[in-house]
Amino acid sequence: MNTEILKLTAQKMVTKGKGILAADESTPTCTKRFESIGLKSTNESRNKYRDMLFTTNELEKYISGIIMFDETIHQNTVNSNIPFPKYLNEKGILTGIKVDTGAKNLAGTKNEKITEGLDNLRGRIQEYKDLGASFAKWRAVISIDSENSIPSKSCIYANAHALARYASICQENNIVPIVEPEVIMDGKHDIKKCQEVTKMVLNIVFEQLSLMNVLIEGIVLKPNMIICGKDCEKSCSDDPKKVADLTLQSLLESVPKEVPGIAFLSGGQSSDLATKHLNLMNKIASKEGLNDYWNLTFSYGRALQQDSLSIWKDEDTKLAQEKLLYRAKMNSLASKGLIE
């Protein structure tokens, strides 16, 4: 493990004013998105779509890295036939790779999930590194259902331990791990319950990372924001400042100062709302003198891509790229708290 490489890569991933584009949708997920707008999902159409995203002019001004799915990291640019990782490296954008194999039912629990993919992970990480990957991603899924005492401690600890083992294997190979424990929005829980569970999850995750001797300065944390469940009777979506305040409070109480950056997931929020919350958090952090802590940025998928995809279906590549660049620029501004 080369600690300096890990630290420098993590710092580059969360450079102030830049964020990460999550383009790691699995083939079934990408197919659903294509079908929702009347597009046929094939290897070729997915390649063309990712090519549209990655070849956007000046994307490197706002995007530090792109997370890919296994299919994508093996694909090339459409016009010049250059492998995507090599093309992005020449633009100054790091290549990331999703290495978990999805969330499956966790035995002994009531419909809770455990993320799998540790089997043969070391070998897969080494292969991805040879293909040009600098960082990886592993997502744990934590649900809230108070009526059924969910999440259970067994679910949280199982997922936290898997995240820690994944992170350790990544760092062993000088790959920066994105640690993504997502408390999902599904459910009737209010914003306070989300905060309570998120803090508990983060504390256990960092406990497990420590036990596995993971270099905290060489990771990027990708958490959810503190938001009420989408079926909550009293939605908190009309109070962005509360979301920003509670999210910051939770991070201050749970995340070590040594973590170089926090790249939020959008978690089903609309593109505009995800940007608004990020902007408010950075305004508050600047006002309260938290600039010595982790950098707050974004690692969005749909919140960056959706406008582009809707336009690209009509084969207007130029306008689709303009939409992506606009979303990336707005989130870049939000990561500095500069949107009025």
Q: Tens digits of per-residue pLDDT, 255-285?
A: 999 999 999 999 989 999 999 999 999 999 9
Is pLDDT above 70 for 80?
yes
Catalytic residue among 180, 193, 199, 276: 180
74 domain-assigned: yes
Is pLDDT above 90 for 236?
no
Tell me the average pLDDT across 90-94.
97
Closest CA to 99 of 7, 201, 175, 206: 175
Question: From CA 46, how far away is CA 71, in angstroms rounded?
Answer: 9
Bond prior to 240 in cis (omega within 30° of 0): no
193 carries an active-site annotation: no
| Domain count along the chain | 1
Residue range of the domain that includes 297: 3-334
For residues 198 and 239, which has the higher predicted lDDT (pLDDT)?
198
Residue 340: per-residue pLDDT: 87
207 domain-assigned: yes
320 domain-assigned: yes
pLDDT tens for each residue of 145-173? 988 999 999 999 999 999 999 999 999 99
Neighbours of 12 (CB within 10 A): 19
116 domain-assigned: yes
Catalytic residue among 193, 199, 222, 283: 222
Closest CA to 304 of 47, 40, 103, 18: 18
**Residue 289 binned pLDDT confidence (cut-offs 50, 70, 90):** confident
Q: Name the pTM for this structure.
A: 0.96
Tell me the average pLDDT across 317-323.
95
Q: Mean pLDDT score of the chain, rounded to an integer?
A: 95
Residue 37: per-residue pLDDT: 85
Residue 235: per-residue pLDDT: 63
The stretches of the chain forming alpha helices (DSSP H) are 3-13, 27-36, 43-54, 70-73, 84-91, 121-131, 153-172, 191-211, 240-254, 271-287, 302-312, 317-334
Tell me the average pLDDT across 318-326.
96
**Residue 238 binned pLDDT confidence (cut-offs 50, 70, 90):** low
Tell me what percent of the residues of the chain surpass a pLDDT of 90. Answer: 87
Tell me the average pLDDT across 322-329.
97
CATH (domain of 85):
3.20.20.70
340 domain-assigned: no
339 domain-assigned: no
Residue 147: per-residue pLDDT: 87
222 carries an active-site annotation: yes
CB 163 within 8 A of CB 140: yes
Tell me the average pLDDT across 304-324.
90
For residues 233 and 299, which has the higher predicted lDDT (pLDDT)?
299
Residue 16: per-residue pLDDT: 95
Is pLDDT above 80 for 131?
yes
SS3 label, residue 263 = strand
122 domain-assigned: yes
CB 191 within 8 A of CB 147: no
